[in-house]
Structure 1
Amino acid sequence: MSDDPKIEYLPVVEETALLAIQKVVTGRVRVATQTEVLDHILPAELSSVEVNVMRVPVDRKIEAVPDGVTEGELTIIPVVEERLVVTRELYLREEIHVRRVKQSETVEVPATTRRQTARIERLPALNKDDQDDL
């Protein structure tokens, strides 16, 4: 350093900061689930088809075997026979009428389902001594 009285010196000072992070437990939560079994009665639509068969005597002479016929829900099935006469003739002996009748009914079907619920319980924070044990 010089001995010159006109020169002054200023010391340079620097401050530094340190940041430390500390984990602190402020509270706890306990979650418990419970499964419930629920019984339900579920509606179900059942349908069925009933078939009524009726024989209808005809006994009429025909020239050719008729085809089966379906008219809506009615099906007609021809039944023929050959009869020996001096000549062979075709007779419609009978028809079988088959009618479909739809029926529906609602039934109750028992069913079991499961549902879970959650219970949440808030607990106090642990003491500092207890946190060190974790």
Structure 2
Amino acid sequence: MPDDPNTEYLPIVEETASLAIRKVVTGRVRVANQTEEVDHILPTELSSVEVDVVRVPIDRKIEAVPDVVTEGELTIIPVVEERLVVTRELYLREEIHVRRVKQTETVEIPATTRRQTAQIERLAADPAPSINKDDLNDL
């Protein structure tokens, strides 16, 4: 049959599709950082101790040197002297009273900090290039 001249042939044609991928920019984003300074008032406590010194005259005869005594916030420091008499005698000349007075005060201290914020702006894409029919055939 293939050699028969009266035989007609019908060609079989098959189409194939191919796919090509290309990147196209569809949009852009611009990000800008901005730094700003923020002023704050920071509360804090400051403490101090005042010392009040009072001399208390005693002028009394004693047998031994007294110890330093602390009673709460009061410290008593004895001051003694020897006096020459026919015999030696101790006299408590005075006491020094030292009292501590604690004070607390709240103050506001200015301080500056920085922070950044980001501004995002969406931009349009560049116009898409036109596609020719010939370009599709090359794919």
1:45 aligns with 45
- Between the aligned partners of 1:74 and 1:20, the Cα distance in structure 2 is 94
Indicate the residue corresponding to 1:113 in structure 2: 113
1:17–1:79 CA distance, 2 compared to 1 (3 A)? farther
Aligned residues with identical type, % of pairs: 84
Pairs within 5 Å for 1:1-134: 19-129=19-129
What is the distance in 1 between the residues matched to 2:101 and 2:127?
79
5+ residue gaps in structure 2?
A: 1-14, 130-139
Root-mean-square deviation (CA), in Å?
A: 2.2
Q: Tell me how many residue pairs correspond in the alignment.
A: 118
- Supply the distance in 1 between the matched residues of 2:108 and 2:61 (Cα, whole angstroms): 54
Match of 1:7 in 2: none
Could you list the runs of 5+ residues in structure 1 that have no partner in the other structure?
1-14, 130-134
SS in 2 for 1:65: coil
Amino acid at match of 2:95: E
Question: How high is the TM-score relative to the length of structure 2?
Answer: 0.76
